[in-house]
Amino acid sequence: MMLLTGENLTKRFAGGSGTVDALNGINVQINTGEFVTVVGPSGSGKSTLLSIFGLLDVPSKGTVCLHDTDIEQYNHRERTRVRKETIGFVFQSYGLIPTLTALENVAVPRLLDSDPAATERRAKELLGKVGLSNRLKHYPDELSGGQKQRVSIARALVNEPALVLADEPTGNLDRDTGERVFKELLAVTGDDVTIVAVTHDEYLAEFSDRVLRLIDGRLKTSGTDTEIPVSEQTSETPTDGGVNH
């Protein structure tokens, strides 16, 4: 079953210093329960694609369908509601609120119509799943990078999203910690949950069902295929600026 499709996704940023074509006609379909990684050099459009999938930005041209609904049909308020109900986000820089405890941070996106006791139970359960039962009352600056990212993973899952979008979730972590956190993200996310993760780390892409390679806002093609299963990839990797965004 299809969860998310992008058709001819094009994004042009126009600013004082000229225009940038961040995405140049992306066609992609992502199935329910699939774990897809997006790799590519800095500036290739990975974050832009994720923002559009996350209903945080709109394409200049093209169509995004989520759950078979063209998201263009939603007004701003509906878009926000659909985003909260459907999508969890994990960012490289964690995005935790420094004045809130781990437990409070996880509860932040909880939908307003839910009951506070249930929210707390859910937040505790999720923090337990990521191994932080003994850090509930800790503030972000009392946590390691890996722990902060675990809190943000718990937060992303608090509304039981159908889709988790992670933009360089291991970008600020050392390799071992990054690999552990990445595996935990997969482990705590239910099999029916779809994950799209941008990563700079090619080796992490090997955990995914499918790799999307972006170069200059285009999916790198291999023959007629725009998407290359991991098993069919060669050792050749795209040139990479090596700068994390």
Work out whether 47 is an interface residue with ligand ADP (CB under 6 A).
yes
Work out whether 48 is an interface residue with ligand ADP (CB under 6 A).
yes
| Residue span binding ligand ADP (CB under 6 A) among the ranges 39-47, 112-120, 172-180, 219-227 | 39-47
Enter the tokens of residue 28. 């992609």
Give the residue at shortest CB distance from Mg ion. Answer: 47
The least CB distance from residue 42 to ligand ADP, in Å, is 4
Environment class of residue 82 by beta-carbon count within 10 Å: exposed (0-12), middle (13-18) or buried (19+)? middle
243: Cβ–Cβ under 8 A, 6 or more apart, which residues?
Answer: 42
The binder of 18, among ligand ADP, Mg ion, none, by C-beta within 5 to 8 A per type, is none
| Residue span binding Mg ion (CB under 5 A) among the ranges 38-46, 181-189, 206-214, 234-242 | 38-46
Report yes or no: 101 and 137 within 8 Å, Cβ to Cβ: yes
Q: Give the Cα separation of 75 and 78 in Å (integer).
A: 5
Name 90's bridge partners: 166
| Of positions 37, 44, 47, 152, contacts Mg ion by CB under 5 A | 47
What radius of gyration do the chain's Cα atoms show? Answer: 18
Decide whether 50 or 154 has the Cβ nearer to Mg ion.
50
The binder of 22, among Mg ion, ligand ADP, none, by C-beta within 5 to 8 A per type, is ligand ADP
Work out whether 245 is an interface residue with ligand ADP (CB under 6 A).
yes
Q: In the sheet that 35-39 helps form, which strands lie side by side, from edge to edge?
A: 87-91, 163-167, 194-198, 35-39, 210-215, 218-219
| Of positions 8, 27, 42, 237, contacts ligand ADP by CB under 6 A | 42
Binding site for ligand ADP (CB under 6 A): 13, 15, 20, 22, 40, 42-48, 245
